[in-house]
Structure 1
Amino acid sequence: MNVGVGNVTFEPGCRNNWHIHRGGFQFLLVTGGEGWYQEEGKPAQFLKAGDVIVTHDGVKHWHGATKDSWFEHIAITAGTPVWLEPVDDEWYSNL
């Protein structure tokens, strides 16, 4: 299986853009801090160490730190990421 593995750290308030994984998937293994994960059309999920997220092929989502905490996860990813629009600042600040 051809996958990429990365140890990802977000500083407080940092998050990635909405994105999808085309022709693949992504596992997020949360290792530290507090963060958020959201799939399009669903509520944001609060994440902490020990949580595991599975994102299936083509599912639009984002993830990142809470406003007040660093956030770390190991990402195991297959397929090609397609980067989309930023997460709305005003919406994020109300999480």
Structure 2
Amino acid sequence: MDIKSSGSIPTRRAPEEWFTGTVWQDPIIQAPSPARLISVVVHFEPGARTAWHTHPLGQTLYVVSGAGLAQVWGEELREIRAGDVIWIPPGEKHWHGAGPANSMSHIAMQEALDGNAVEWMEKVSDTQYSGTE
């Protein structure tokens, strides 16, 4: 058993190449092999969002606070709120983040396949984010 004490893992700024706006991450777990679970609390400031991406084994999001947006490639923009649980199937191209006027925090849970849990792609444009594209 391994117990990480509260506050022992520092908050980190999310990498600019994968996110637009100010995003903070609080790691929960990156389980050692043979387990594959990776989980993190992600805090998005208003207007902040991920780039388009996929997960080889899918992803579950649990919205902890605030209001945000999520979209699957080629589909309508969706609103997400505190208490919502979102399942993204393996290989589905998508993005998620805060709404334009509200912050949003979610717990992201995904499994790694051969050490890889995500494939990052292009950034979400402002027109995609606003739903005008």
TM-score for the superposition, normalised by structure 2: 0.67
Structure 1 residues not aligned, in runs of 5+: none
Aligned positions of 1:1-95 closer than 5 A: 1-22=35-56, 24-79=57-112, 80-94=117-131
Structure 2 residues not aligned, in runs of 5+: 1-34
Query: Whose radius of gyration is greater, 1 or 2?
Result: 2
Q: Which AA in structure 1 matches 2:99?
A: T
Structure having greater relative contact order (Cα 8 Å, sep ≥ 6): 1
Q: Which AA in structure 2 matches 1:62?
A: W
Count of matched residue pairs: 94
d(CA) in 1 for partners of 2:79, 2:131: 13
Q: RMSD value over aligned CA atoms?
A: 1.3
Runs of 4+ in 1 over 6 A off after TM superposition: none
- Give, in angstroms, the shift of residue 26 of structure 1: 0.5
d(CA) in 1 for partners of 2:93, 2:103: 23
d(CA) in 1 for partners of 2:71, 2:102: 17
- More strand per residue: 1 or 2? 1
d(CA) in 2 for partners of 1:48, 1:21: 22
Change (3 A) 1:4 1:29: same
Identity in percent: 39
2:67–2:82 contact (8 Å) kept in structure 1:
yes
- Give, in angstroms, the shift of residue 25 of structure 1: 1.3
